[in-house]
Amino acid sequence: MVQTGVQRTFGPRLRGFLAAALSNRFKALGAGAAVTVALQSSTATGLMLTAFAAGGLVELAPALAVMLGANMGTTVVVQLLSFDVVALAPILVLAGVVLFRRTEDATRDFGRVLIGLGLMLTALHQFLVLLDRVVANPDAHALLAHAGDYIPLAILGAALLTWAAHSSVATVLLAMSLAAKGMLPLDAGVAIVLGANLGSAINPLLEGSRGSDPASRRVPIGNLLTRVAGVVVAVAGFRFLLPYAAQLGPSPARALANFHTLFNLALAAAFLPWIGGYAKLIVRVLPQKDEGLAPGAPLYLDPSLRETPALALGAATRESLRMADTLEAMLAGLRVAIATPSRGNIDDVRRLDDVLDSLNSAIKAYLISIAPSTLKPTDGERLAQILAFATNLEHAGDLIDRNLLSVAKRRLQRGVAFSPEGEADLVRLVDRVTANVRLAASVVVTGDEDAARRLVTEKEALRAIEADAVAAHYGRLQSGNVSTVETSSLHLDALRDLKQVNSHLIEGAAYPLLTSMGALLPTRLRSVGKGA
């Protein structure tokens, strides 16, 4: 609840803050710590950075610096939660419920944060109470007392627990609680803290890199290797470090919290000065794949953005604009096919329809995966508009693929040509529809009512153009124009289908926006009296 509440309230600003800090390694270190404290999770920060890096939005060196800061941020969370702050729990929950009942979205989301913090503190307190029963069990006490005899096993177990819990904070607090109860010797507690630091790097590696390109795993692997290096050094000098660890606090629990902090500070101090060289080494070990993405593969649909609907909808909008660019490319290919059709040209344009189909499916799946409960009313309207735009672009592509390119193919097979006047009419109509693709994309991006109205007026304009072209076509037929006679059905089919392509642009871009503004009449029919 804390993580999702912070992301919904501050998500765009958190990402903007993080992106602005990536120009400098020291700023990146501080930004990573600050964002992690806000999100209460270095895993969330790691997933965010992995998505940034995989999308080419951030260089590897500053991203690794952010991760060093994120690991430091978890120590701040541990330090804060290690104090007896359970008395604040009911106050936080009560304040959160009051805010959550407000109508403003930002206030509700911040209330969610407070409720989550209160529940966390309550759960930790209840957990400590339950530990009393474990302490009373002699067998459990004996088992934990000898945990320090198997340091590597304790580290591995703590790493697995941290991976399963998605939280190093929980594992460290568990070790501190056991140490405070006198159940866990200091050496076993230190081993669990080391394992928690190792396990916190596993989730971003498993969940943040979805593709097969090794370059997409550079950030999580680089972060994991820093953890491994720190743990290996600590294990090698374990017996040397242990006496100093015991002196880090007045109690074993406080000593473990301070050891956790110093371990991450030491790692940051060790790696930050040569983070650039370390990044180059990782790039050499994990080079970029030579082959590019498939043409229909989405570029902007970042799964980590779905917790922040405004950002997710922005990503889907960017992807839908790629569909508009693809449709424009199809129209450009169709323009060539009308004048000088060739099998190669027709096949190239048809392959673009496969790109439209793939992008439309990806956008639909992405938008549907956004939890409805996270959407504001305006977000829901925007989601519907993007879906309508993508769906209608895909339908328009199908018309070009199945109908208009079939016209060009049949013309090629028959060995006939349009009359110069007929060809000019078709090319002029293609150019008009191409301009409307750009206007439709502008309407979707800007949400401008005037642009939407201008796009709607294009429907009447194209109807008039089509009527004039048909009339001119029939005139040429009556005059006995040979080319017109041979291509009459092809010409009329193409005119009709181009008008339909334009209708899909209006239905996908202008109508949803004007409907949401209440600026669209429910019907074009003129009302008639009862006696008519």
Distance, CA of 149 to CA of 162 (rounded, Å): 21
What are the residues whose beta carbons fall under 8 Å from the beta carbon of 450, sequence distance 6 or more? Answer: none
Q: Which two tokens stand for residue 42?
A: 């270095």
What is the structure's pLDDT at 9? 65
- Cα 434 to Cα 462: distance, rounded to the nearest angstrom: 12
Give the angle 205-370-292 at the CA atoms, nearest 5°. Answer: 50
CA dihedral 388, 393, 394, 395 (to 10 degrees): 90
* pLDDT given at position 169: 80
pLDDT in the model for residue 305: 78
In this predicted structure, what is the pLDDT of residue 443?
Answer: 92
pLDDT value of position 404:
87
Estimate the crossing angle of helix 42-54 against helix 25-39, to 10 degrees: 130
Provide CB contacts within 8 A for 254, sequence distance 6+. Answer: 82, 248
Q: What's the burial of 11, exposed, middle or buried (CB within 10 Å: 0-12/13-18/19+)? A: buried
Q: 């989405």: which residue's tokens?
A: 298
Question: What Cα–Cα distance (Å) separates residue 176 from each residue in 47, 124, 135, 184?
Answer: 27, 12, 14, 9
The pLDDT score that the predictor gives to residue 532 is 42
Length of the chain equals: 532
Tell me the whole-structure pTM to 2 decimals: 0.57
C-alpha R_g of the chain:
31
Listed in sequence order, the residues at least 6 apart from 335 whose beta carbon sits closer than 8 Å to its beta carbon are 427, 430, 431, 434
CB atoms within 10 A of CB 512: 23
**What are the tokens at 485?**
């006679």
pLDDT in tens, 263-319: 999 999 999 998 889 989 988 888 766 545 567 788 888 877 777 788 889 889 999
Which DSSP string corresponds to 46-65? HHHHHHHHHTTSS-HHHHHH
Q: Count of CB atoms within 10 A of residue 433's CB?
A: 24
All structural domains of the chain, each given as residue ranges with its CATH number in brackets, are 2-285 (no CATH), 303-516 (1.20.58.220)
Average pLDDT for consecutive 10-residue bins of the chain (532 residues)? 68 63 77 76 71 66 87 84 75 90 79 84 76 69 68 89 82 83 84 91 72 71 92 90 88 90 93 90 78 72 79 90 94 88 86 91 90 83 93 94 86 78 85 93 91 89 83 78 66 86 92 83 59 44
Q: What is the DSSP string of 137-159?
A: -HHHHHHHHTGGG-HHHHHHHHH
